[in-house]
Amino acid sequence: MKKALLASAALLAFSAVAHAQSSVTLYGRLDAGLEYMNGVPDGAGGSTHRFRAESGDWGTSLWGMKGAEDLGGGNRAVFQLEGSFNTMNGQGPGGGGLFNRWATVGIANNQFGTLLLGRELFISNGVWDFDPFGQSNWSSASLVRGRNWPQSSNNVSYQSPKVAGFDFYGQYALSNATSWNGNGTTAQGREAGAQITYTAPLFQIRGLYDEIRNPANGTLGGDYSTSNGAYAYSREYTAMLNVFLGQFKLQGGYQAIRTSGMTNLLPGQPSTLDHEWGGVTWQATPAAALIGAVYHVNGNNGAGNATIYTVGGSYNISKRTLFDLQIATVQNSKTANYGLNANNYGTSAATDNPLAGHSQSGVYAGIQHSF
């Protein structure tokens, strides 16, 4: 009996230590609202309007879990699993997998940084911190048709600690093909990028380089007859700035998107894009924020240019729940057909893009809860 009691006490003590050294957090975000949009193609050569329930306009609905285990010596084993879903119908990401945003495991150390392996948001999502609307559905991703917010598999990434205001983040994704850059045998070509950020009390700057290669042939270009072209496979050079002025935050950025190895390029299909934006957020009260922003893109080869003008804001009714509102319009040049949503290149009704040279406007109002 005495030995049994001692063994039980030892097991309880070990369990308590293990529990103290490990942690798992379940988290998520639900975003839903109502959206009105005009300038939508009707499939018969004209335009129409629509009114619908929508999920994710202010921010992606998602759920996930993350955890850490203390390994001693300042080291921690860490993991994160995260997937997106549609609040309106409960459906998940489909072919993207249950954890289509994050599925990583790695080692972290406050002195040496964090090394992760697995699936992550691609490094170009580093735009998020410098976009006045935080890469909401109508923002910096719209005019580059989602080029700066994809996910990436087969990753090895490293995040450095902050030293003298600087920090570094790098990401490298293998193609997993017999050809290093991709040869059509896998779903993803090689992807890579690096960013460096400097943060000071009054401002923050970030430089970012990334590339996404065509899995069919490993090039930094695409066949517009079978892919999204420059919006899918290209290099991206980005410089961004945040300025903190009390209740006001000024934000701006410039992206140069460049390709090589483009095929079946027709007039109106760009091989290069120049993308700029700027905006201001006024934190009028601790609960209320007002935002105004302008996004602009210019493409070569007759792709034209487009500008989004947008205003909006949010009101926190609690620490975890807010109401949001956004009003936006995109104005296209004669040959351009960019829409408010980050849709694929094209003019068919399925793309949701307006007719070439036409504008598109919308209003979205919703609620978002985080846990």
In eight-state DSSP terms, residue 162 is P
Average pLDDT over residues 56-73: 96
Chain segment 88-141, per-residue pLDDT in tens: 999 998 777 899 999 999 999 999 999 999 999 999 999 999 999 999 999 999
Sign of CA dihedral 131, 122, 205, 238: negative
pLDDT at residue 169 tops 80 = yes
Residue 177 belongs to a domain:
yes
3-state secondary structure (DSSP) of residue 210: strand
Residue 347 binned pLDDT confidence (cut-offs 50, 70, 90): confident
Residue 4 belongs to a domain:
no
Which residues, at least 6 apart from 103, have a Cβ–Cβ distance to it below 8 Å? 80, 81, 82, 97, 118, 119
Average pLDDT over residues 254-266: 93
Least confident of 218-222, 291-295, 318-322: 218-222
Q: How many domains does the chain have?
A: 1
Residue 263 binned pLDDT confidence (cut-offs 50, 70, 90): confident
3-state secondary structure (DSSP) of residue 60: coil
Residue 6 belongs to a domain:
no
Which residue has 């999204």 as its token pair?
228
pLDDT at residue 65 tops 90 = yes
Q: Give the model's pLDDT for residue 2.
A: 42
Residue 87 near residue 32, CB atoms below 8 Å: yes
Residue 351 belongs to a domain:
yes
- pLDDT over 70, % of the chain: 94
pLDDT at residue 158 tops 50 = yes
Which residues, at least 6 apart from 105, have a Cβ–Cβ distance to it below 8 Å? 77, 78, 79, 116, 117, 118
Chain segment 204-223, per-residue pLDDT in tens: 999 999 999 999 999 999 88
Residue 13 belongs to a domain:
no
Q: Give the model's pLDDT for residue 330.
A: 98
Least confident of 222-231, 234-243, 270-279: 222-231
Tell me, what CATH number does 181's domain have? 2.40.160.10
Q: Give the model's pLDDT for residue 240.
A: 98
Name the residue range of residue 343's domain: 25-370
Which has more pLDDT, 262 or 78? 78
Considering only CA atoms, which of 295, 326, 332 is closest in space to residue 312?
326
The kind and range of the H/E element at 3 are helix 2-21
Residue 214 near residue 222, CB atoms below 8 Å: yes
pLDDT at residue 10 tops 60 = no
Return the half-sphere exposure (C-beta side, CA atoms, 13 A cut-off) of residue 253.
Answer: 33
Residue 14 belongs to a domain:
no
Q: Give the model's pLDDT for residue 94.
A: 75
Q: Give the model's pLDDT for residue 226.
A: 84
Q: Quote the CA–CA distance of 32 and 18 in Å, as a whole number.
A: 39
pLDDT at residue 23 tops 90 = yes
- pLDDT over 90, % of the chain: 85
Residue 5 belongs to a domain:
no
Mean of per-residue pLDDT scores for the chain: 93
Model pTM score: 0.91
Q: Give the model's pLDDT for residue 348.
A: 81
Per the structure block, which two tokens stand in for 114?
Answer: 């964090």
Q: Give the model's pLDDT for residue 13.
A: 40
Residue 266 belongs to a domain:
yes
Q: Give the model's pLDDT for residue 259.
A: 96
Q: Give the model's pLDDT for residue 350.
A: 83
The one-letter amino acid code at 247 reads Q
Q: Give the model's pLDDT for residue 19.
A: 46
